[in-house]
Amino acid sequence: MNPVLALLLRVPLHGIGLFAAALPRSWEMALGAFLGRAALIVDSKRRRIAAENIAHCLPELSAARRRALLRENYEHYGRMVLELAHMFAPLPGHFPSYIKRIIAIEGHENWAKAAARGKGVLFLGSHMANWEIAISIGAVTDMRLTIVTRRLKPAWLHEWMEKTRLSVGVTAAYQPRTLPAVLKALRDNRGVIFVMDQYMPPPMGEPMRLFGVKVHTVAAIAPLARRTGAAILPASARREADGRLVVILEPEIPLTDDDKADNQRLATHLEGWMRARPAQALWAHRRFKNVDWSDRLAPL
């Protein structure tokens, strides 16, 4: 990127970070909801994607309830943007301090039990609530986490995000050649996070049933667990009305001898989260590409 354009991007990001850092959490929640409602008005493309996904996945809801859910979902996005802005506040130690103020954990004992085996932990993750905040729990626990992600551009943005994640104990395995880094992380008894609520084309993805239709979903978790002996823990998050972000670590999901069946069980688990907390799911993502909804089957 042109250095001038990079600077023009960097200045407002750090400015927004400083603004967010100055807000009390209650103000941040209220302002985020307002920004989300404003985005709902102007963001016609993503609004259409989210509305279509909600209508297809939750047809049992009335039209009025779907409209209300769409508004709540956008309020969630607005709050999420202000939470993410804290990652760019150029204040030493600010992001770990922010995490310690807003995060809570349920089920840490499930991590401790799985990690005691010494073979690493594979987390079934998703974009519920705020995933960047959720993966930062290393700031308040003994958990060491690795995420599978892509390098960012420009270079300064990638370096800034990497430094910020490291400040809360998070390292990254960068696509496309992630397997060596993932295997090393598991050998080091780290937790590795895979998300299943994004569209994943072949060869990394395979069709699985989600909300009654077949859609390509990441297929690496069950085979990787079988190969390495790592435990699979479901990990989701929910944002409470008081502003706390609660990370929920569920008990280990045992494997069978069938990778496809095991991955389908994981996808069904993910669907359960989205049904339970639909306002905090990522409906604005084009998750259901190339799907024929007329072929829909009853949920598993």
pLDDT-derived band at 290 (thresholds 50, 70, 90) equals: confident
Assess whether pLDDT exceeds 70 at residue 246.
yes
Assess whether pLDDT exceeds 80 at residue 295.
no
Q: Return d(Cα 177, Cα 271) in angstroms, integer.
A: 28
Cβ neighbours of residue 61 closer than 8 Å, sequence gap 6 or more: 54, 69
pLDDT per residue as tens digits for the range 12-34:
999 999 999 999 999 999 999 99
Average pLDDT of the chain, as a whole number: 92
Instruction: Give φ, ψ of 29 to 5 degrees.
Output: -65, -45
Assess whether pLDDT exceeds 70 at residue 1.
no
Assess whether pLDDT exceeds 90 at residue 59.
yes
pLDDT per residue as tens digits for the range 103-147:
999 999 999 999 999 999 999 999 999 999 999 988 888 888 999
pTM of the model: 0.92
- Strands 213-218 and 245-249 turn out to be unpaired
